[in-house]
Amino acid sequence: MKESEGKHNKERNLLALTGAAALLALAANLAFSAFNSHRKKTKKKDLPGSNVRVNLSPSEILRLADRIIAKSKAVHDKVASVPLDKVSYVNVVSPLAELEAEQFPLIQSCVFPKFVSTSDEVRKASAEAERRLDAHALMCSMREDVYLVIKAVAARGEWTSAEAKCYIQSLVREFEQNGLNLTVTKREEVQRLRTQMDELSLQYIKNLNDKSTFLLFSEAELAGLPLEFFKGLDKAENGKFKVNLRSNFVAAVLELCKVGRTRRMVAVAYGKRCGDVNLSVLENLVQLRHKYARLLGYSNYADYAVDLRMAKTTSKVFEFLEDISINLTDLATKELNLLKDLKKKEEGEVPFGIEDLLYYAKRVEEQKFDIDFGALKQYFPVNLVLSGVFKTFQDLFGLRFEEILDAEVWHGDVRVFSVFDLSSRELFGYFYQDIYAREGKYGQTCVVALQNGALSSNGARQVPVALLISQFEKDISGHPGLLRFSEVVNLFHEFGHVVQHICNRASFARFSGLRIDPDFVEIPAQVLENLCYESFVLKLISGFHQDITKPIKDDICKSLKRWRHSFSALKLKQEILYCLFDQIIHSADNIDVVELFKHLHPKVMLGLPVLEGTNPASCFPRSAIGYEAACYSRIWSEVFASDVFASKFHGDPLNQYVGMQFRNKVFGPGGAKEPIEVLSDFLGREPSIQAFVDSKSECSL
């Protein structure tokens, strides 16, 4: 690798220096990029060590998918043919591990074009390839012949390393989660239940996605909403505006509308969506989940869902949620009283309801904090922010990012970077940066793992490759692309995932980068997201777009830090309410979900009742698909990330010694080590909720 590194050294562009040099480097980089985009095309360079393929045609995508499936079947057949008395790590486990490492970048080469391609035909082919590959993966996970030989290897207990033992146990567990340790009859029942659950989950979401419902309001009834909001509305024959019950319209009304009656009408209508229909779907879905879990040997679905996560047990989840809720009660009470007092001043004796929370929280924030987020955006030109992000992560984690010019990419906006260890100059991996908005592209900021790190049987290391996707404004003829502060925070978070993926040193692709415990995977990125509120970092990544030598002022930095926690206790209690609901319905049979919400709402929300006529259970998609019995996980990540940041980074957020410890002890192990051990090793103790609670109190209004 060092040989190829030297060979391409002159063709890479070093990014992110300090002080005035950073500004000169940024200007030079932009000028060179402009020159490079207009020069005569040259032969595109491969990325040494990367097996990711880009710019495949629709037919090439489908042919590659078929070759992947054929190779996978051949390897699984060969493994399954090993006599049970002849099984070994070498003839069973090693071929499967190498197959995973080899095929993952090829699978992703088929799948990721659906997120980024400008061609409708390519996106369709990518979706079809994904369908074929998913069907094949499901078939492989149900192969009893392969399960039996892996089980035989596990029974011998001949591990080559602790990580190899973890890998074999993971293989066995995956098969048994699909019922391979059950009788044929029970196994068929498991598959039947899974199919029914998938159908009901999709039905629940389909019902929610009905976009035909709307309410009519006059302009006066929508007082407080900006002109841009009205531009997105249709008008009825009577001249009133149609407010569609989509989440973006509802959120705008609840946060900005001055008319309490309008806020209440919208909140009630939004909370009544799908009513009895989705209520019935959810009740049936939960019962099927319990049956499914019991067939697999669990008492209930929550036990099944939590068993393989960092939390481990439902009792631990309940304890965690209740501890956080109790510790936030005093602060949340102060916040609620402040909002009630403000509503009384503005609307008289009308009772404060849950529908008033967003509006009055925003009103207090406007009074307490001198932050104009529209004006603040002028200080975050996208190229300057990126330069600052690069410098921050390079300095903190002892890395160097170098742009690879003339690498093959799927669009002219895409840039490719290699990542080196600063000291050893070892190539750690690559990342693609596809961050500007365009038609047909995936609309959210996210990171896609394109190739996982792994150690082959001959000792060679396969390097990780990541893709950062976003939809930022692009510089257009004198108008710089500017980022909202929320986009800056999101960029830090997702770039944390890029570095997390690339700095992983696991031996098995299965444990590499982002393929780790879902309770843990967001914690490192949440830790790094905190950097956005540190004055030193804010000044590094900001500069007025007409004069980037002028960063945001100290008082704004302080206000942003305080604003971050404003009314956070009350808002978090509302999230805890839904997490408790999700955990309870998946922990017991025959729960009356309507009565459960009526009971939980005032208990958690300091006496505020559920909105009369609404049924939150009928419009709570996280519990229906994707996060069932695991809604707590986002709070879990935030809480323990706060502990890590407060204990190790607070006061000196760019301390490279701490950064290197984080890189080696947190990023390094990936999924090969229990998350609680990873955090305890880094912290020198078990993680705690106290730093999170203290951070809320310190920044209270």
pLDDT at 673: 92
Is residue 583 over pLDDT 80?
Answer: yes
Question: What CATH superfamily is the domain 58-181?
Answer: Endopeptidase. Chain P; domain 1 (1.20.1050.40)
User: pLDDT over 90 for what percent of the chain?
Assistant: 82
To the nearest 10°, report the CA torsion of 351, 353, 357, 358: -110
Question: What CATH superfamily is the domain 376-565?
Answer: Collagenase (Catalytic Domain) (3.40.390.10)
pLDDT at 521: 96
pLDDT at 6: 40
- 207-221, 343-357, 669-683: lowest mean pLDDT where? 207-221
Could you state, in order of their start, the residue ranges of all structural domains in the chain? 58-181, 213-272, 277-368+567-699, 376-565
- Alpha-carbon distance of 109 to 126, in angstroms, equals 9
Average pLDDT over residues 304-310: 95
Average pLDDT, the chain: 91
Token pair 């950062």 is found at 468
**Domain 277-368+567-699, CATH:** 1.10.1370.10
How many other CB atoms are there within 10 angstroms of residue 512's CB atom? 28
Is residue 415 over pLDDT 80?
Answer: yes
User: How does residue 700 score in pLDDT terms, banded at 50, 70 and 90?
Assistant: low
pLDDT at 42: 52
pLDDT at 32: 39
Is residue 11 over pLDDT 70?
Answer: no
Pairing status of strand 465-472 against strand 12-14? unpaired
User: Catalytic residues, which ones?
Assistant: 494
Is residue 511 over pLDDT 80?
Answer: yes
pLDDT at 351: 93
Identify whether the C-beta of residue 462 lies closer than 8 Å to the C-beta of residue 453: yes
Higher pLDDT, 88 or 693: 88
pLDDT tens-place string over residues 238-288: 999 999 998 889 999 999 999 999 999 999 999 998 888 999 999 999 999
pLDDT at 95: 97
- Alpha-carbon distance of 545 to 549, in angstroms, equals 9
CA of residue 381 relative to chain centroid, distance: 24
pLDDT tens-place string over residues 631-653: 999 999 999 999 999 999 988 99
Is residue 45 over pLDDT 80?
Answer: no
Identify whether the C-beta of residue 262 lies closer than 8 Å to the C-beta of residue 208: no
User: How does residue 701 score in pLDDT terms, banded at 50, 70 and 90?
Assistant: low
Domains 58-181 and 277-368+567-699 share a fold: no
pLDDT at 696: 74
User: How does residue 43 score in pLDDT terms, banded at 50, 70 and 90?
Assistant: low
Is residue 113 over pLDDT 70?
Answer: yes
Is residue 30 over pLDDT 50?
Answer: no
Residue 558 amino acid letter:
K
pLDDT at 160: 80
Residue 430 amino acid letter:
Y
* Helix, strand, or coil (residue 683): helix
pTM: 0.90
Average pLDDT over residues 479-483: 89
